[in-house]
Chains A and B, each alone.
Chain A
Amino acid sequence: MDLLKQLLVYVVLIVAIWLAATFLLPLLSRASMAPDYSEIDVPDVEHYKTYSLEQNVPVRQLSQGQAVCYRLTKGESTNGNGFGYVAAIPGDTVEIVGGQLLVNGSPYKRSGPLASHPDEGRLVVPENHVYVVTTAHSTDSVARGPMPAAALRGRIAEFP
């Protein structure tokens, strides 16, 4: 009887490990892609200000006007971070007309002037990409094209 009991315990243990390996680990790995939060310092007019950065936000959860932090190389920025606003999400059209950035045909107010650009577009923002703009356009989508999800560090909460 003891032998049977012990065998049963081992079998249950093996099945439990197998179940965990098959179902629980993938669930956990997916769970690790869920948004999590950290803090990030953003250069303000005179000093750095700390904001909450929501990481691992899927592109489909972003919308126009939200502030995001994106990756830069060390040469482009002291901390490797760029900050801008989402101007367009996948499926939106982007064009430059008369030195203005138009998103779905309407001017996007947060974009800086584009006087040196000829009329360009219309570009449909590709899947899994966002069009991010800043006022200076030195490292944003005007300078680099639509940003892939992999280039985004996350969404900045309560960004002015």
Chain B
Amino acid sequence: MIDRIGTRNLGFAQLLLAAILLIIGITLAMSSWNRWTGISDIGTARSRLMEGNAEAAKSRASSAARALPNEPAAVLLDIDIAKDPDYARLETLERKTKGEQQQLVRTAEALSLIARKHEGAPEIAGADGVLLKALTELIKGSPPASIVLPKDSAPHYSVLVMTYVAQLQAALRVQDPVLVREAAGVLALLMPSHPEGRALEFVAGALDPACDLPRLQGLAQQVTDKKKLQAIAHSLAGMARERAAQLDAVVLGINPSSSPEKLLELQVQAAAAQDSGVDIAGLARRCFDAGRMDLAKLLLPKMPPTALGPMRSAILNQEGDVAELAKAGMTDATLAPRASKARCRKGLIAFQLSNDLGMVPKSAIIVKLNGVDVAADKITRNASLIAIDTALTGSVSIEVRAGNRIVYSDALTL
């Protein structure tokens, strides 16, 4: 009886153990398969990233992170540091890692907090710490300062990219040529194959006094998006005043070694002909300096609306043409053309036409006597003096227009 019970118990025990072994075996097999696919997905995700296929990389990284939720190599690939739920995943991961890997996760946590503009980022040592502090200040809107990394400490790639992108944006905002050149130079070395890589090299070259003209032209040719190139040259013009003309010429595809007069002409013609990103107001100022009002006038249709009124006024003032000023709707009393009372004698009417500043209309004026236009050959002008030959006698009405505006009307007796 005891033997029978003993043998039966042994059978039960064997069955139980076999079941346990089977479960352990299946668990081990599944775990191994999971780990193998996870590691394979990490490799594939990295390969897709290097190929620039972000969508496929993200899909593989998610799969790797699901398979290996405690593996920083998998989870960090899948994390979007700008998202709150992903920060919770980082916190969980930090608790499950040790040593260097934990340090890496802490850096990612700090980066996530800073990117989401949250306070309380953990203190990070070394180059990452310096960069993260700089990034924090830049995101707060503080003015940029030169970044000096400690020796023998390597930062992480993402921290380096995020900080220098923020540094470049801030330096462009405050128009600091040294910092713009420094940040653009670092980013150009860090990601030369990025779509903006060539543009970064152009920025570094444009602000480098040692970068000669042929090299700058070569760098400009590498930037395929010409509108972007023009916008860059526009934003750099204020920081590289001494080569602003060269920058405009390079961007417009003009030979920058032409004579300054010829260069200005070509630049104005090119800027007027195309929808370029050239600093039109700056170009117009250069026309003023060169005394070329004719060129400045060509730029008026391309002038930004805010600058159009003052620029037109400035051009017309320089030209001293009160008629054109009147046409432009100038309301300034000192600019408005005024006529003196006409003096008459048989066959002749004369009056002065100018404004308070002594400017006279250079463009044609229209004179009507008794409502009929006077032929141009009957009007004689001598500076501000206008003389009209007429055969009319007796009572005559006169109307004088300059710039489509009536500047004088009266009833005269000849």
Interface residues of B in 68-127 (CB under 8 A from A): 127
Interface membership of B160, Cβ < 8 A:
yes
Distance of A71 Cα from B9 Cα, bound (Å): 61
Interface membership of B385, Cβ < 8 A:
no
Which residues from A are CB-within-8-Å of B411?
none
> Which single member of A18, A29, A121 contacts B189 (CB below 8 Å)?
A121
Which residues from A are CB-within-8-Å of B391?
none
Interface membership of A132, Cβ < 8 A:
no
CB distance from A12 to the nearest CB of B (A): 11
Which residues from A are CB-within-8-Å of B258?
none
Q: Please encode chain A, from 80 to 116, with 1 for each CB lying within 8 Å of some chain B CB and 0 for all others.
A: 0000000000110011101000000000000000011
The answer to whether A3 touches B6, judged by C-beta atoms less than 8 angstroms apart, is yes
Interface residues of A in 128-152 (CB under 8 A from B): 128-129, 142-146, 148, 150-151
The answer to whether A120 touches B204, judged by C-beta atoms less than 8 angstroms apart, is yes
Distance of A127 Cα from B157 Cα, bound (Å): 7
Distance of A10 Cα from B16 Cα, bound (Å): 10
Q: Which residue of A lies closest to B153 (CB)?
A: A91
Q: Which residue of A lies closest to B131 (CB)?
A: A124
Which residues from A are CB-within-8-Å of B9?
3
Interface membership of A21, Cβ < 8 A:
yes
Which residues from A are CB-within-8-Å of B192?
142-145
Which residues from A are CB-within-8-Å of B205?
118
CB distance from A106 to the nearest CB of B (A): 15
The answer to whether B50 touches A150, judged by C-beta atoms less than 8 angstroms apart, is yes
> Which single member of A25, A127, A145 contacts B193 (CB below 8 Å)?
A145
Given contacts A71-B50, A119-B204, contact A127 B155 (CB under 8 A): yes
The answer to whether B189 touches A127, judged by C-beta atoms less than 8 angstroms apart, is no
> Which single member of B21, B152, B189, B193 contacts A95 (CB below 8 Å)?
B189
Q: Count A-B pairs with CB separation below 8 Å.
A: 115
Distance of A150 Cα from B211 Cα, bound (Å): 35
> Which single member of B24, B186, B215 contacts A123 (CB below 8 Å)?
B186
Question: Which bracket fits the contact residues of A?
Answer: 35 or more
Which residues from A are CB-within-8-Å of B43?
150
Q: Please encode chain A, from 1 to 38, with 1 for each CB lying within 8 Å of some chain B CB and 0 for all others.
A: 01100110010011001100100010001000000000
Q: Which 9 A-B pairs have the closest CB atoms?
A: A118-B205, A90-B154, A120-B185, A150-B46, A91-B154, A123-B189, A126-B157, A10-B17, A127-B154
Chain A residues within CB distance 8 Å of chain B: 2-3, 6-7, 10, 13-14, 17-18, 21, 25, 29, 71, 73, 90-91, 94-96, 98, 115-129, 142-146, 148, 150-151
Chain B residues within CB distance 8 Å of chain A: 6, 9-10, 13-14, 17, 20-21, 24-25, 28, 31-32, 35, 43, 46-47, 50-51, 127, 149, 151-157, 160, 184-186, 188-193, 201, 204-205, 208, 210-211, 215, 218-219
Complex A-B: 18 CB contacts under 8 Å = A6-B13, A7-B13, A17-B25, A17-B28, A25-B32, A29-B35, A96-B189, A119-B208, A121-B186, A123-B186, A123-B190, A124-B149, A124-B155, A124-B160, A126-B190, A128-B157, A143-B192, A150-B43
